[in-house]
Amino acid sequence: MLHSKKVPTENVDKGKVLKAPSNFRISFYANGDGDEAILKAETGGRRGRETENEAEQSEAAAATSDSRTKRVVELGNGSQPRDSCYVASEGLPQLVYSGYQPHAYSWDEFPPLKDILDAVHKALPGSRFNSLLLNRYKGGNDYVGWHADDEKLYGPTPEIASLSIGCEREFLLKKKPDKTPRGKNTSGEQPKKRLKMDGSPDKHSFVLKHGSLLVMRGYTQRDWLHSVPKRVKADSLRINLTFRLVL
C-alpha cells in the first residue's frame, strides 16, 4: 500500500480523521515582531485522581516553573508567510527547503508531539515517520505557496501525513505542468489568482478541518504541486503538522 502505483489523485486520501488527543495542548505563538515563537507542548489532562481544580493549579504551576514545558523557538522564518518549526530524530541528514535550513529540535523536548506521532502511526498502519514540520497560520493572510515536498532526502515516493488543528483552510492540488523540471521546489510563492475548480482531474481542493489527517503518497510530490492559499475569511489560528520520513 505504501508503494502503491495507483494514480496520484487516488493516493491523496482525505478521508481519515484523527481525533485531536483530549489531553494535549500545544500553544504556538509569536513574540514581538514574529521572528520568535514559544512552542509550549504539555499534557493538559487530569492525572490520576486529580480534581479539575488541582489540575488547573498544577498546570499553572507547571507553566511557570517547569522549563521543560516551555521552549522559546527561533523560527528563522525570514520572509516565510507563516511560522514554522522542525522536529526530527537524531542523526538524520539536515533538511533544506526553499533556501531554509531549519534547526532540528529533538522529539524528546516535546513529549506530546511524540504522543501525536504514535497516534498517527496507529491511524496509518505500516507508516513510519521520523520528522515533523509544524506550520502556524496566524490568520487568513498566512499561507503556503505552490510547492512539492520533493526534497531528495524523502526519496522518490514519500508518504506525508498532514494533521490539521484549528481554523479550517482550503488545501489545493494541481498537476505540475509537463515542462516543470522535476525536483524544482517553488515553496513560498503566492498563487497569483484563485485556482478555478472547473472539475478538471488536474485540480483538486480539500477543506482541511480541525482534526483531519490528509495523506499524500506515491508520486504525488513528483507530479503535483500543493498550496494553502490566503483566505480572507480564515480569521483564526491554524496549526498544521506534516509528518515525514527522512530516509
Interface residue list for ligand AKG (CB under 6 A): 133, 135, 144, 149, 162, 171, 208, 226, 228, 240, 242
Closest distance to ligand AKG from the beta carbon of 45 (Å)? 26
H or E stretch including 145? strand 144-147
Between 11 and 240, whose beta carbon lies closer to ligand AKG?
Answer: 240
φ, ψ for residue 55, nearest 5 deg? -65, -45
Q: Which helix (H) or strand (E) holds 121?
A: helix 111-123
Which of the listed partners (ligand AKG, Fe ion, none) does 59 bind, with a CB threshold of 5 to 8 Å by partner kind? Answer: none
- Quick one: 228 or 246, whose CB is closer to ligand AKG? 228
Whichever of 171 and 224 has its CB closer to ligand AKG, that residue is 171
Closer residue to ligand AKG in complex, CB, 41/173: 173
Cβ-closest residue to ligand AKG? 240
159 binds Fe ion (CB under 5 A): no
Q: How far is the CB of 97 from Fe ion (least distance, A)?
A: 9
Three cell numbers written together for 61: 504551576
Q: How many CA atoms does the CB half-sphere of 159 hold within 13 Å? A: 18
**Residues 215, 13: contact at Cβ < 8 Å?**
yes
If you write DSSP's letter for every residue of 77-104 in order, what string do you get? Answer: -TT-SSEEEEEE-TTPPPP-BTTB---E
Pairing verdict, β 36-43 and 71-74: antiparallel
CB of 151 vs ligand AKG, minimal distance in Å: 10
- Nearest to ligand AKG of 59, 208 (CB atom): 208
Residue 13 Cβ vs Fe ion, minimum distance, rounded to whole Å? 15
